[in-house]
Amino acid sequence: MPTTLQQLAAHRELSALRAVLECPLKASALREGAAVDSGTGPAWLAFLCPAHSEELPGWPGVQTHADNGSMRCGTVLDYRSAEQLLQSHADLWLTPLTGVQPESFGGVWSEVLDQADRVLLDRAEREAGGEDSPLQSMLTMMGLACRSAAEDDLKQATVALGYCETIALSL
């Protein structure tokens, strides 16, 4: 008999693998996000430990299932489109970190990411944390996201932003 994860993820293309929490524990719960479109599977699946199973800001779940520690707490399997992933990144960490509002740029993600990159670069110059600082690592990945978005490869931009999201946890 297939596991809950196998049933929820079956035959679906994964858009992103994200780490949205810094937690060393194994998951005991699998939370599913609402379907993006009627009749489709969940938009995302989040693996959570007991401490995080009831609250994960920005990730309202529609149903929670038991999990046997198949993933680390904070791991999210995301099945949304590139546009939806970009908006999720903006909502959860990019706008809070940079103040850049996507709606101010009319949905042109290359411009949103360029502005966010400038804000982060200004911050890095003020803080002068050195080449090994998390902010410098984030700037490297933001540069990749900006180039990908400028080339209209939003899916690749979301990959780079996934790394930025993980780095942002340490800022």
The model's pLDDT over 36-91, given as tens digits with 9 standing for 90+, comes to 777 778 999 999 998 887 777 677 788 888 888 889 999 999 999 999 999 999 99
Phi, psi angles (nearest 5°) of residue 96 = -60, -35
Q: How many domains does the chain have?
A: 2
User: Do 127 and 89 have their domain in common?
Assistant: yes
Asked if residue 19 and residue 96 are part of one domain, the reply reads no
The answer to pTM > 0.85 is yes
User: Looking at the structure, do residues 86 and 164 belong to the same domain, yes or no?
Assistant: yes
Q: CA separation (Å) from 133 to 23, 69, 84, 122?
A: 21, 32, 29, 14
The residue from 78, 111, 143 where one domain ends is 78
**153 plus 87 within the same structural domain:** yes
Domain-terminating residue out of 37, 54, 78: 78
pLDDT score at 131: 66
